[in-house]
Structure 1
Amino acid sequence: MADHGTQAFQAAESLMLWRVLPVFLAGLLLSGCATSPPKNINNLCDIFREKDDWYKSAKASQKRWGTPIHVQMAIIRQESAFRDDAQPPRSKVLGFIPWTRPSSAYGYPQAKDDTWDWYIKKTGNRGADRDDFADAVDFVGWYTDVSHAKLGISKWDARHQYLAYHEGHGGYRNHSYRKKAWLLKVADKVDRQSKAYAQQLKSCEKDLDTGWSLWPF
Structure 2
Amino acid sequence: MKIQKLSFLLLIILFISACSSAPKNTASSCSIFKERYFWYKHAKKSERKWGTPVHLQLAIIKMESSFDWLAKPPRQKLFKVVPYKRPSSSFGYSQAVKGTWKQYKEETGNKLAVRTRFKDSVDFIGWYTNKTEKILKVSKKDAFKQYIAYHEGWGNYKNYKKNKKVINLAKRVEKQSNIYKQQLSECKNSLSTSKYIIF
TM above 0.5: yes
Superposed displacement of residue 94, structure 1: 2.4
5+ unaligned residues in a row in structure 1: which ranges?
A: 1-21
How is 1:41-80 mapped onto 2 (pairs within 5 angstroms)? 41-80=26-65
Q: Structure 2 CA distance, aligned partners of 1:32 and 1:98?
A: 32
5+ unaligned residues in a row in structure 2: which ranges?
A: 1-5
* Alignment equivalent of 1:134, drawn from 93, 116, 119: 119
**TM-score if structure 2 supplies the norm length?**
0.90
- Residues 142 and 93 from structure 1, CA distance in 2 versus in 1: closer, same or farther, beyond 3 angstroms? same
**Partners of 2:37 and 2:196 within 8 A in 1:** no
Which one-letter code corresponds to 1:202 in the other structure? S
Which one-letter code corresponds to 1:100 in the other structure? K
Superposed displacement of residue 33, structure 1: 2.5
Q: Structure 2 CA distance, aligned partners of 1:118 and 1:210?
A: 35
How is 1:1-217 mapped onto 2 (pairs within 5 angstroms)? 33-34=16-17, 35-172=20-157, 175-211=158-194, 214-216=197-199
User: What stretches of structure 1 move > 4 A for 4+ residues in a row?
Assistant: 26-32
- Residues 94 and 32 from structure 1, CA distance in 2 versus in 1: closer, same or farther, beyond 3 angstroms? farther
Q: Percent identity?
A: 45
Which one-letter code corresponds to 2:50 in the other structure? W
Q: Structure 2 CA distance, aligned partners of 1:137 and 1:166?
A: 16
Q: Structure 2 CA distance, aligned partners of 1:170 and 1:28?
A: 46
- Residues 56 and 90 from structure 1, CA distance in 2 versus in 1: closer, same or farther, beyond 3 angstroms? same
**Partners of 1:56 and 1:212 within 8 A in 2:** no
How much is the aligned-residue C-alpha RMSD, in angstroms?
2.0
Number of positions where the alignment pairs a residue of Structure 1 with one of Structure 2: 191
Q: Structure 1 CA distance, aligned partners of 2:65 and 2:195?
A: 26
- Residues 115 and 50 from structure 1, CA distance in 2 versus in 1: closer, same or farther, beyond 3 angstroms? same
Which one-letter code corresponds to 1:162 in the other structure? Y
Which segment drifts farther, 205-214 or 126-135?
A: 205-214
Superposed displacement of residue 195, structure 1: 0.5
Secondary structure of the structure 1 residue equivalent to 2:155: helix
Superposed displacement of residue 157, structure 1: 0.7
Secondary structure of the structure 1 residue equivalent to 2:30: helix
Q: Which structure is larger by alpha-carbon Rg, 1 or 2?
A: 1
